[in-house]
Amino acid sequence: MLHTESALTRNLHPVRDALFSIVGGDFPTYVWKAERGNVAGFVQLYVEADSQNAHLLYLSSTADQVASSDGDNGSAGSPARIINETVWLSLLDKAVIEAGRQGIQSLIAEVSETGAELPVLRRAGFAVYTRQDVWILKEAKSERQHKILSPRQSTDDWEVQLLYANTVPRLVQLVEPMPPLYDGEGWVLRESDELTAFVHIRNGPVATWVRLFIHPNAEAQTDEIIAAALQVNPPSSSHPVYCCVRRYQSWVQHALQRTGFVLWGSQAVMVKHTVHHLQKAVPDLAVVLEAQGISPSAPLVQRYHRAVDGKMGRYQN
């Protein structure tokens, strides 16, 4: 699985989701089979509503193997994989073509920094746009009430978008827009009538996923912001809380550690665009106007009057 939030917080079944997507769903699935032999594979995408980007959700083939070592593949203790690059590259190539036909502009994959998937995705044309650390908390250790956050209102939306634009690098914004405000819960922090923090919480059937957008001016209150967010959805051993922190906000990780979070894994966020921007020369404006021509206007009719001396004359302005 190459979409961490879905892997950790939802009960996903690739076959079921593939069947639902036949009649129009969020999980387009593509199957690849070798012309000779029994090798086959599939790739499944996850497309959020009204999004021009898609996440690689599943990618696997019958030729993949599991090694006996305890390599890190995104989570501690998971076995290392031996990937059949020929099958994966064919799958990725077809997925990019089909995604482009569906109007999807880029594919996003989240892979372990030390896993076998990263070099294969590089060969397929994926580039690392940013890196992220995922933290997990199974039990909150602070019982103190923190009420500095308030529920997001529709009047906050413009300032939330402004905060996102000011805290997330432009390169990342191009492939991953702000979390959808209609999906999940939103909590904000205001200081002197200025919105300085936004917490987005999605409570899945298996776990809770939290994203923090904090202005550097509110860095001193990061511990309280995290504690207040945990009061909204308290963690438990059967329903933990995961917090995803991108490296451009690495200073948030120290606050997570103080709150009791433990590092689950570090990943690279990789992107491949399905479309290319082409430059087209703009023709000279004068040439365009000459080719189009100018429609004649109505003739100007001048009014005459007879002067007192018997001669014709024009009105003078």
282: number of Cβ within 10 Å: 7
Alpha carbon separation from 86 to 3, 45, 79, 134 (Å, rounded): 22, 20, 21, 30
221-259 pLDDT, tens digit per residue, is 999 999 999 998 899 999 999 999 999 888 899 999 999
The class of domain 1-125 in CATH terms is alpha beta
Apex 76 CA angle, 75 and 81, nearest 5: 70
If you average pLDDT over residues 147-173, what whole number do you get? 91
- Mean of the per-residue pLDDT values of the chain: 83
Q: How confident is the model at residue 156 (pLDDT cuts 50, 70, 90)?
A: very high
Quote the pLDDT of residue 243. Answer: 96
If you average pLDDT over residues 185-210, what whole number do you get? 93
Q: Which residue has the higher pLDDT, 10 or 48?
A: 10
User: Chain-centre distance of CA 179, in angstroms?
Assistant: 7
Quote the pLDDT of residue 70. Answer: 46
Q: Do domains 1-125 and 132-266 have the same CATH topology?
A: yes
Quote the pLDDT of residue 21. Answer: 75
The class of domain 132-266 in CATH terms is alpha beta
8 and 209 Cβ atoms separated by less than 8 Å? yes
Quote the pLDDT of residue 192. Answer: 82
Backbone angles phi, psi at 81, to 5 degrees: -115, 150
Domain ranges for the chain, please list them.
1-125, 132-266
56-102 pLDDT, tens digit per residue, is 999 888 877 666 544 444 544 455 668 888 888 988 988 888 888 88
Quote the pLDDT of residue 284. Answer: 65
Instruction: Tell which residue, 110, 149, 133, has the closest CA to residue 249.
Output: 133
